[in-house]
Every structure is written in structure tokens, then in C-alpha cells.
């Protein structure tokens, strides 16, 4: 090949290569998935000249929860019973609109499969996670063990006389696992009342001991066991039902003792068991050293004692508001409003037909200014925390 022909071939090849490069560049620029090269990208700057979104802009585009309405947050503070053993329209409405938690009684329980299906059905219709509770102390207060659904435990008094605290903790753990397997979240136990009253009086053998240290030790052990099995615990009946044989299911007991004696005897189990208590249930008992007029369940001084002196920061619930100690004096609905306004976080409205009215009364009290929005939100927030919601989610739900 001569030099002139070689030069001509060179320029021809170069022209073809340039044309191909231009076609390729055009294809890249026209491609919808291509990104334009960024100014300064080689020096480590961002690959786009658009500014980064601000925190406010990011928050606006981030999916958020649907905040609870006033009525829905009021419902979080109501714990109710349900009718029957199957899902009904009434039960669906209760868990969707009128209550944030449910307690099952003997009339709701037939067998393992039935209980699991009932609880699962209720959960599917709840506005926020549903808490499902039951009374399973052992002895004569046994909704599940008496039906063979969980291991039946002897009374607290018998356990304290025949078993070590370590054994009671293991029994509590096994019971907790069995309850959790059925779908329950919450047990209204342990009983922390201190008494030596005969077995079948209102508290009687439901108490571990007439010695406050022994009652505290066994109550703590049982609570720790339940917790390790995945169940929320309840210390009851604050600040103590052991000093009276009057049955608060029938009428209002009154205890006239000094705060100093109450502190040394009745309150000792609460101070000791505090780390293992998720909730505390207040008693329908009037303690004149705390409040001359009201039972502890409706008393601001009693709530302050628990919060400020003992240091309990979790859920405070009332005993059932359909008990004679309350209904002899006022309606269930009125009691529910008074309880929440005076420091309780949950009103136990066990009579399911009253749950709608109780929730409506609470929401109405906020609208009229008779109950502060902050008090209701504080109570609802504690309920949501017990349900496992984190701080950010609670802030959104109550936003």
C-alpha cells in the first residue's frame, strides 16, 4: 500500500468513527432512563443541581399514620366486656368504636379454638391494637384454668404456704406462655392485698399473706413470671383491700387508718413489685387518710400517691365500675368520666352495653371543657404505650 492510499484510508476510518460516536451520544441523551452528567461531579459534588429537600418537605412526602379522632382516643381509655362466645356485629362495633381493650369473662369462654378465633376476630376490627385481658389469679378466680385451657393454679395463699417464690415465678411463666398462646395480652394479677381474713371473704385466700414482706415477695415473683411469658401484669387492689371484710361488689368499704400505717403495711407490696407491674388496679375502697369523700378508684389524692410517692408511671386502671360500691352512688358512665378526670388511665366498664355511653361522655366532657384534652391524651398515650406503640407513632396517633 502506498502512503497516499494509507492516508486516505485513515481519514475515512476516522470519519466513520466520529459518525458512530455522534449517533451513540444522541441515543444516550434521548434515552428516558439516562441522567445528565452533573457539573462538578468529578470533584465529589452532587449529581444534580437541584437542592436537597428540607426536613419539612421530607415529612410532607413521608407516609404518616391516621390520627385518632377525639372519640377514638376516648375509646382507648375504656375497657369493656363483650357478649357471648362468637364474633357478632355488637362485638365488632365495641372494638371498632367504643373500647380500646376487652376483658373476657367465664361466659365468653368455651374452649381453646373458640377463644383463639374470638380474639383473632376482635383484633381484626380494632382501630388501634386491641388489648385482651382476663382474670386468672388462680384459686377461686380462674376463668381459664377452671375450664382446662391453662394450668390451674391453687390460691395465692396456698401457693405461698406450699411453694417457694422461685417456684411461683416458674408457675407464673408457664401460665403466661399458655395465656399468650391463646391470644391474651393481659392478666389482672397478682393480688397484692395484705390480709389474714378467712379464705372466702372478699379477699381472703386471694392474698399471699398477712405479712407485707411475704406478700410482696410472692407478688413480685408471680408478676415476673407472667411478664417473662409475654403477659402484662396488674397489681391490685391499690392501695389495699386487706383491711376490710366489706365486699366492694356490694357496698363501699371505708378504712380509717393513718397514712403511716397504710404506707408500712398495705403499700409495701406495691413498692417492692413496682418494676414488674405493667398496670395497677385501684380499689373501690375509701381511705379517709387519703380522701374523706371518694374511693381510691375515683380519688385524685390516691392517684398522686401512686404516681408521686411510689413512682409508678405506667397504666392505672379502675376496678369494675359496675360494682355496688360505685353503682349505689352514681351511674357507671358518670364514674368512668370521674375516674379518668381524676387520674385513672382506663375505666373498666365491664357491662358492654354501657361502653358506648361511657366513650361518648368522655368525648363530650372534653368538648365542654369538663375534662381537659391533655388529661385524656395523657391517659390514651399510656394505653397506646402498653399496646407496644413507640413514641413517634403515639405522637402521630394523638396529633
Which contiguous run of DSSP H or E holds residue 238?
A: strand 234-238
Q: What is the pTM of this model?
A: 0.84
CB 399 within 8 A of CB 392: no
Q: Is the dihedral of CA 344, 129, 370, 90 positive or negative?
A: negative
Q: What proportion of the chain, given as a percentage, has pLDDT over 90?
A: 82
191 neighbors 236 (Cβ within 8 angstroms): yes
Condensed to tens digits (0 to 9), the pLDDT of residues 331-351 reads 999 999 999 999 999 999 999
pLDDT-derived band at 10, boundaries 50, 70, 90: very low
Of 181, 206, 180, residue with least CA distance to 195: 206
What are the Cα distances from residue 349, in Å, to 13, 148, 180?
Answer: 91, 27, 23
Do the Cβ atoms of 298 and 335 come closer than 8 Å? yes
In Å, how far are 203, 344, 372, 386 from 378, measured between CA atoms? 32, 10, 10, 13
User: What average pLDDT does range 116-130 have in this prediction?
Assistant: 96
The chain-wide mean pLDDT, for the chain, equals 87
Separation of alpha carbons 4 and 7, rounded Å: 5
Mean pLDDT of 149-161: 98
Q: Residue 55's pLDDT is what?
A: 38
**CA distance linking residue 67 with residue 392, whole number of Å:** 12
pLDDT tens sequence across 221-264? 999 999 999 999 999 999 999 998 899 999 999 999 999 999 99
Task: Give the pLDDT mean for 92-105.
Answer: 97
DSSP H helical segments within the chain, as ranges?
3-30, 55-61, 70-76, 89-93, 112-125, 156-162, 165-182, 212-228, 259-261, 268-273, 300-304, 324-327, 332-341, 355-368, 373-386, 391-397
List the grid coordinates of 49. 443541581
Q: Distance between CA 337 and CA 298 in Å, rounded?
A: 9
Report the 10 Å Cβ neighbour count for 174. 17
Please determine, for residue 19, whether its predicted confidence score (pLDDT) is greater than 60. no
List, for residues 300-314, the tens digit of each pLDDT value: 999 999 999 999 999
**pLDDT value, residue 65:** 82
Q: Where in the chain is the domain with CATH 3.20.20.300?
A: 135-314
Question: Does residue 125 register a pLDDT over 90?
Answer: yes
Q: Which CATH class is domain 135-314?
A: alpha beta
Peptide bond preceding 181 in cis form (omega within 30 of 0): no
Active-site residue, 378 included: no
Catalytic: which of 319, 345, 356, 377? 319
Residue 243 is given by DSSP the state T
Query: How confident is the model over 38-85, as pLDDT tens digits?
Result: 323 333 333 333 334 433 333 333 446 899 999 999 999 999 999 999
pLDDT at 64: 67
**pLDDT tens by residue, 268-302:** 999 999 999 999 999 999 999 999 999 999 999 99
User: Residues 119, 132: contact at Cβ < 8 Å?
Assistant: yes
To the query of whether residue 249 is one of the catalytic residues in this protein, the response is yes
Catalytic pick from 13, 49, 196, 249?
249
Residue with cell 378526670: 341
Q: How many CB atoms are closer than 10 A to CB 264?
A: 11
Give the pLDDT of residue 245: 84
Amino acid at each position: 500500500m502506498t502512503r497516499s492510499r494509507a492516508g486516505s484510508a485513515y481519514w475515512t476510518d476516522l470519519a466513520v468513527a466520529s459518525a458512530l460516536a455522534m449517533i451513540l451520544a444522541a441515543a444516550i441523551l434521548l434515552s428516558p432512563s439516562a441522567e445528565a452528567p452533573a457539573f462538578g461531579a468529578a470533584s465529589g459534588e452532587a449529581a444534580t443541581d437541584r437542592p436537597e429537600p428540607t426536613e419539612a418537605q421530607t415529612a410532607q412526602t413521608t407516609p404518616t399514620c391516621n390520627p385518632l379522632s377525639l372519640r377514638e382516643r376516648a375509646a382507648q381509655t375504656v375497657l369493656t366486656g363483650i357478649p357471648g362466645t362468637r364474633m357478632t356485629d355488637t362485638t365488632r362495633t365495641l372494638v371498632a368504636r367504643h373500647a380500646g381493650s376487652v376483658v373476657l369473662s367465664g361466659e365468653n369462654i368455651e374452649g381453646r379454638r373458640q377463644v383463639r378465633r374470638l380474639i383473632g376476630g376482635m383484633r381484626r376490627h380494632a382501630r388501634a391494637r386491641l388489648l385482651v385481658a382476663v382474670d386468672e389469679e388462680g384459686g377461686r378466680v380462674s376463668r381459664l384454668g377452671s375450664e382446662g385451657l391453662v394450668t390451674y393454679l391453687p390460691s395465692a395463699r396456698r401457693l405461698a404456704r406450699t411453694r417457694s417464690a422461685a417456684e411461683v415465678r416458674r408457675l407464673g411463666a408457664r401460665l403466661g406462655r399458655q395465656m399468650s398462646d391463646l391470644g391474651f395480652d393481659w392478666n389482672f394479677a397478682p393480688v397484692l392485698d395484705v390480709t389474714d381474713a378467712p379464705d372466702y371473704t372478699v379477699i381472703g385466700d386471694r392474698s399471699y399473706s398477712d405479712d407485707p414482706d411475704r406478700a410482696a415477695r410472692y407478688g413480685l415473683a408471680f408478676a415476673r413470671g407472667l411478664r417473662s411469658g409475654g403477659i402484662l401484669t396488674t397489681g391490685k387492689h391499690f392501695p389495699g383491700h386487706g383491711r376490710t371484710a366489706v365486699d366492694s361488689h356490694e357496698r363501699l368499704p371505708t378504712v380509717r387508718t393513718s397514712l403511716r400505717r397504710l404506707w408500712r403495711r398495705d403499700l409495701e407490696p406495691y413498692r417492692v413489685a413496682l418494676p414488674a407491674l405493667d398496670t395497677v388496679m385501684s380499689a373501690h375502697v375509701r381511705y379517709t387518710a387519703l380522701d374523706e369523700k371518694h374511693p381510691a378508684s375515683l380519688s385524685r389524692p390516691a392517684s398522686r400517691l401512686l404516681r408521686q410517692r411510689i413512682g409508678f408511671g405506667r397504666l392505672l386502671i379502675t376496678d369494675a365500675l359496675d360494682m355496688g360500691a360505685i353503682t349505689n352512688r352514681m351511674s357507671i358512665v358518670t364514674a368512668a368520666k370521674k375516674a379518668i378526670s381524676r387520674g385513672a388511665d382506663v375505666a373498666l366498664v365491664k357491662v358492654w352495653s354501657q361502653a358506648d355511653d361511657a366513650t361518648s361522655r368522655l368525648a363530650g366532657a372534653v368538648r365542654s371543657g369538663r375534662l381537659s384534652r391533655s388529661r385524656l391524651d395523657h391517659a390514651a398515650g399510656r394505653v397506646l404505650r402498653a399496646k407496644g406503640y413507640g413514641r413517634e407513632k403515639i405522637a402521630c396517633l394523638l396529633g
